[in-house]
Amino acid sequence: MDSPTSETSSPPPAPSGPFVGAIDEGTTSARFIIFRAGTDEIVCYHQIEVESIFQKEGWCEQDPMAIMNTVNECIAGACKKLVALGGKVKEIITIGITNQRESTVVWDRHTGQPLVNAIIWLDNRTTSTVEELLETIPNNARNINYLRPLCGLPLSPYFSGVKLRWLRDNVPVVSQAMEKGTAMFGTIDTWLMFNLTGGKDGGVHKTDVTNASRTMLMNIETLQWDPNLLKFFGLPKTILPEICSSAEFYGSIAQGVLKGTSISSDLGDQQAALVGQQCLAKGQAKATFGTGCFLLYNTGSSIVHSGHGLLTTVGYQLGRKATPFYALEGSVSIAGAAFNWLRDNINLIQNSGQIETMASTVDNSLDVYFVPAFNGLYAPYWNQDARGVICGLSEETTSEHIVRATLEAVCFQVRDILDSMHKDCKIPLAKLMVDGGMTVNNLFLQLQSDLVGIQVLRAKIAETTALGAAMAAYKAVESRYQMDAPLSKSGPREAIKPQISATDRNLRYQKWKMAIERSLNWETSTFPQGEREAFDGA
Ligand SMILES: Nc1ncnc2c1ncn2[C@@H]1O[C@H](COP(=O)(O)OP(=O)(O)O)[C@@H](O)[C@H]1O
Ligand SMILES: O=P(O)(O)OC[C@H](O)CO
């Protein structure tokens, strides 16, 4: 008979399939996660950081080959771990892809090689392109919302169409390839899919409705490339991928450990998180706090055009014949990235583990307000000329106050967005599902609840983005799968409730708005009449 000791030390049972894999290619890292099919149970995963290249002020690029190699390494690493656990790779029945959105890749159809580095969504080089495009709007209207009725988006450096136009105007190898018909464009999902399915030797050229809805080139109603939008941006249709639904057969992996496995889903990462959070009914909303913060509100099958600075985007379409679901989105470009700045540029912190400890040593931010508008402000302001400000510094201010003010900055930006959503949709949101790297921070979630006056519900697992892609991929191969059925780790989520008074909350929000005023239009601000000469002469 076995002794109790040998019983407790017996190895855990080998994981059994079926499994579904998900590639999550984010701004700061790529990962491949293997889930037990139809559940939120992570069997194993592999994650690797991806380097960003900052060639000039405001530019942000990544090497497309490095992105692809990293993803391949993640797939190989996770499959190796699966085998080490006693699982079988052949039980991975399908995989899905989710990705940082808007980031733009152009490559050569014949060689499969990128023509330039990927321009990452955060990149701000195209502010002058936006200016030039504004000039072309009839009646000298210069209206950033001119294209909203067609694509749901304001003109901003954020979106792929503007980045593609910049490439056309500034990189001869790209404009020549566009003319010759040898250029292929894709967001990161498309680039990965092309390479995974064979690259220049028969790789597919496809994207999904959620990623396409971030280009400014897709018509939000027809879900097809729009000739008027292509004309506005001066871009040829030949470079564009086929638009598919978010859950269908895309192609099969051509080589490597997963050779022959199907790719069955594709969603932009924020839309994937909406699915992974099971915000599948009209009126449900989630916020993901990673590099940036993205709040998506499910508007069902209705297209709601925002009058208050939000984006109209496709939430998901789970099958070729399925009804597309739409969302209103509030995008904030700098959330967790503000802490990377505190760490890398200012040396105020050494690691993210310190953030909560430092911010908790003080009771409040001592009236310090930090607007991290490093690359302008996205929703609801869409002010590309805004720049960061820290207001309210005094002799008593310490680094702890600044760290706390940085957490509060993310919370106030969420309040800006929720106020817009309330105005657009009329119904105030009672609770907000949250996920992403920042949500490990308990103080942050309490501040979020306090400063917005809303119940905050933390996701059961951190990897909701990958989960959403895995759920959609499983749906494509198993039509009986109910995506709103409880996931294995479901049960009540941790709820964080507001603890400060409405008066306190509103006073602090008013001060935030004053700080916002100081950051807007900084790049284009001019000296009052006569003072420029005095300054120059000084
Ligand atoms: N404890 C923490 N408190 C606040 N922010 C954090 C904490 N831990 C990580 N972060 C931030 O979260 C971000 C990483 O989250 P993640 O969801 O992995 O991002 P992404 O998907 O954009 O790559 C980083 O910008 C980091 O600064
Ligand atoms: O990489 P993330 O998670 O910060 O997401 C980036 C967004 O998709 C940009 O729109």
Is the beta carbon of 372 within 6 A of some atom in ligand 1?
no
pLDDT of residue 189: 98
pLDDT of residue 140: 80
| Strands 42-49 and 29-36, sheet pairing | antiparallel
Q: How far apart are CA 456 and CA 277, in angstroms?
A: 13
Look up tokens 């939120």; give the residue.
40
- If you take atom 10 of ligand 1, which residue's CA is the nearest one? 438
The contacts of residue 145 (CB under 8 Å, 6+ apart) are 154, 155
pLDDT of residue 263: 98
- If you take atom 7 of ligand 1, which residue's CA is the nearest one? 438
What is the largest distance, in Å, between two alpha-carbon atoms of the chain?
A: 95
Is the beta carbon of 47 within 6 A of some atom in ligand 1?
no
Q: What is the CA(500)–ligand 2 centre distance, in A? A: 31
Does residue 73 have a pLDDT over 50? yes
Q: State the complex-level ipTM.
A: 0.97
pLDDT of residue 487: 79
Q: pTM, whole model, 2 decimals?
A: 0.91
Q: Which of 230-244, 264-278, 348-362, 512-526 has the lowest mean pLDDT?
A: 512-526
Please report which ligand is nearest the Cα atom of 333: 2
At 285-332, the pLDDT tens digits run 999 998 899 999 999 999 999 889 999 999 999 999 999 999 999 999
Look up tokens 């639904």; give the residue.
245
The contacts of residue 425 (CB under 8 Å, 6+ apart) are 297, 299, 304, 328
Does residue 5 have a pLDDT over 60? no
At 151-207, the pLDDT tens digits run 999 999 999 999 999 999 999 999 999 999 999 999 999 999 999 999 999 999 999
The answer to whether residues 182 and 106 touch, using CB atoms and an 8 Å cutoff, is no
Amino acid at 449: S
Please report which ligand is nearest the Cα atom of 153: 2
At 220-244, the pLDDT tens digits run 999 999 999 999 999 999 999 999 9
At 97-151, the pLDDT tens digits run 999 999 999 999 999 999 999 999 999 999 999 999 999 998 887 889 999 999 9
Average pLDDT over residues 367-375: 95
Q: How far apart are CA 18 and CA 16, in angstroms?
A: 7
pLDDT of residue 68: 97
Amino acid at 277: Q
Q: How far apart are CA 538 and CA 380, in angstroms?
A: 38
Residue 428 DSSP class = P
Choosing from 339, 435, 465 the residue with most ligand 1 atoms within 8 A of its CB, the one to mutate for a pocket test is: 339
At 249-267, the pLDDT tens digits run 999 999 999 999 999 999 9
Would you place residue 529 in the very low, low, confident or very high pLDDT band (cuts 50, 70, 90)? Answer: low
The answer to whether residues 252 and 197 touch, using CB atoms and an 8 Å cutoff, is yes
Q: Counting atoms of ligand 2 from 1, which one is nearest the CA of 290?
A: 4
At 428-443, the pLDDT tens digits run 777 899 999 899 999 9
Residue 240 DSSP class = P
At 56-70, the pLDDT tens digits run 988 999 999 999 999
pLDDT of residue 535: 58
Determine what percent of the chain falls in helix, strand and coil, rounding each to the nearest 5: 35, 20, 40
Q: How far apart are CA 126 and CA 183, in angstroms?
A: 20
pLDDT of residue 536: 61
Look at the alpha carbons of 267, 270, 271, 274 in this order and tell me if their dihedral is positive or negative. Answer: positive
pLDDT of residue 3: 45
Is the beta carbon of 383 within 6 A of some atom in ligand 1?
no
- If you take atom 10 of ligand 2, which residue's CA is the nearest one? 101
Is the beta carbon of 207 within 6 A of some atom in ligand 2?
no
Q: What is the CA(337)–ligand 1 centre distance, in A? A: 7
Q: Is the peptide bond before 18 cis (omega within 30 degrees of 0)?
A: yes
Q: Counting atoms of ligand 2 from 1, which one is nearest the CA of 288?
A: 3
The answer to whether residues 266 and 244 touch, using CB atoms and an 8 Å cutoff, is yes
Please report which ligand is nearest the Cα atom of 335: 1
pLDDT of residue 537: 59
Element (DSSP H or E) covering residue 445: helix 442-452
Element (DSSP H or E) covering residue 151: helix 148-151
CA 317 from chain center: how many Å?
18
Look at the alpha carbons of 130, 133, 135, 137 in this order and tell me if their dihedral is positive or negative. Answer: negative
Look up tokens 């609840």; give the residue.
449
Between helix 269-276 and helix 464-477 the angle, nearest 10°, is 80
pLDDT of residue 115: 97
Q: Counting atoms of ligand 1 from 1, which one is nearest the CA of 335?
A: 25
220-248 per-residue burial string, b: 16 or more CB within 10 A, e: under 16: beebebbeebbebbebeeebbbebbbbbb
Is the beta carbon of 330 within 6 A of some atom in ligand 2?
no
At 459-504, the pLDDT tens digits run 888 889 999 999 999 999 998 999 888 877 666 678 899 999 999 9
Would you place residue 365 in the very low, low, confident or very high pLDDT band (cuts 50, 70, 90)? Answer: very high
pLDDT of residue 489: 65
Q: Counting atoms of ligand 2 from 1, which one is nearest the CA of 158?
A: 10
Would you place residue 1 in the very low, low, confident or very high pLDDT band (cuts 50, 70, 90)? Answer: very low
The token pair that represents 510 in the structure block = 């008013």
